[in-house]
């Protein structure tokens, strides 16, 4: 009985001979794609509603501040106060965007596709973190720049006035950078724990909402003027950042009393930031892919 013979068919496959763009290009592409996802660009109208609604609220506050200053000649709020006045929109923005960036990939089990490329697990986590920090910074910094432009046009002291206004805006922008780094690390870590976007959003809001009354409780327990009353603001991310800014840049009406414990707020912020980023990296080393 004759043995069957094997036949090799040429179906036209060819080896790729073009440039291999490598790890840097993969990171850059993931960063750009994450920014587009955060703003709903390239997606349906439903994906754009919530992030752009929050952005609209943030810009509306800036427009109102510009209008008041143009009419009265007096600033409605300081640049540093702007971030404190839009705390709730920022919290909503984080709850909307962070799950879109990471929870969807967990739910759809697309991580193996990312990790099959030159992209490492740490690259994925850090790139997503960089993208979220960038969009939060845009949310906080762009309105301040608009307020600055409006303020310059209302001043009558020319270049010196513009430079003085720039000096006033500096702490506000520095605070925006710090807030973007810290808040993005918290939100992304929480969102990375579940593939369900609704749960991730609820958990992110919970981190900010549940810790807020704890500040009041610790204040009552410690009593006015006690060390505990000054340190109580460490337990909530928003008041922690207010205390840090007050220690670095001085008091504002929306600040929190830190007394002589300002360095504790610096240490607390560093611990939260380093801890959240480290846990995020650990999460993606352990996640199934």
Whole-number percent of the chain with pLDDT over 90: 39
pLDDT score of 260 more than 90: no
pLDDT score of 255 more than 90: no
Q: Which pLDDT does position 190 carry in this prediction?
A: 95
Q: Structure tokens of 217? A: 């409780």
Residue 252 in contact with residue 246, Cβ under 8 Å? Answer: yes
Q: Provide the whole-model pTM.
A: 0.88
Residue 280: which H helix or E strand, with range?
Answer: helix 262-286
Whole-number percent of the chain with pLDDT over 70: 94
pLDDT confidence tier of residue 142, bands split at 50, 70 and 90: very high
What is the average per-residue pLDDT within 11-23?
73
Count the neighbouring beta carbons within 10 Å of the beta carbon of residue 88: 13
Residue 123 in contact with residue 26, Cβ under 8 Å? Answer: yes
pLDDT score of 1 more than 60: no
What is the average per-residue pLDDT within 42-46?
77
- Which residue would you say has higher pLDDT here, 217 or 9? 217
Nearest Cα to 259, choosing from 231, 280, 287? 231
Q: Which pLDDT does position 106 carry in this prediction?
A: 86
d(CA 235, CA 210): 10
Q: What is the DSSP string of 7-66?
A: -----------S---HHHHHHHHHHHHHHHHHHTTTS-HHHHHHHHHHHHHHHHHHHHHH
Q: Using one digit for the tens of pLDDT, what is the confidence trace for 72-127?
A: 878 888 888 888 888 889 999 999 999 999 988 888 888 888 777 788 889 999 99
What is the average per-residue pLDDT within 132-152?
93
Angle between helices 158-191 and 87-108 (to 10 degrees): 40
């Amino acid at each position: 009985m004759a043995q069957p013979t094997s036949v090799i068919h040429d179906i036209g496959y060819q080896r790729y001979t073009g440039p291999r763009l490598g790890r840097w290009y993969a990171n850059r592409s993931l960063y750009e794609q994450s920014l587009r996802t955060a703003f709903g660009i390239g997606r349906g109208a439903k994906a754009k509603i919530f992030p752009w609604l929050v952005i609209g609220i943030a810009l509306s506050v800036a427009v109102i501040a510009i209008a008041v200053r143009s009419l009265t000649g007096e600033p409605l709020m300081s640049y540093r106060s702007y971030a404190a006045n839009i705390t709730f929109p920022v919290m909503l923005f984080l709850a909307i965007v962070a799950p879109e960036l990471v929870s969807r990939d967990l739910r759809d089990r697309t991580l193996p596709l990312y990790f099959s490329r030159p992209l490492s697990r740490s690259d994925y986590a850090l790139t997503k973190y960089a993208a979220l920090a960038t969009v939060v910074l845009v949310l906080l910094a762009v309105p301040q720049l608009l307020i600055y432009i409006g303020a310059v046009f209302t001043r009558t002291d020319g270049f010196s006035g513009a430079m003085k206004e720039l000096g006033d805006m500096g702490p506000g922008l520095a605070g925006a950078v710090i807030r973007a780094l810290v808040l993005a690390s918290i939100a992304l870590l929480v969102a990375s724990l579940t593939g369900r976007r609704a749960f991730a959003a609820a958990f992110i809001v919970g981190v900010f909402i549940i810790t807020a009354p704890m500040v009041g409780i610790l204040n009552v327990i410690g009593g006015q003027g006690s060390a505990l009353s000054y340190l109580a603001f460490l337990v909530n991310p928003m008041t922690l950042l207010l205390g840090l800014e007050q220690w670095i840049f001085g008091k504002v009406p929306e600040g929190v009393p830190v007394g002589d414990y300002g360095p504790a707020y610096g240490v607390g912020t560093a611990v939260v930031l380093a801890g959240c980023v480290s846990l995020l990296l650990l999460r993606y080393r352990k996640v199934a892919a």
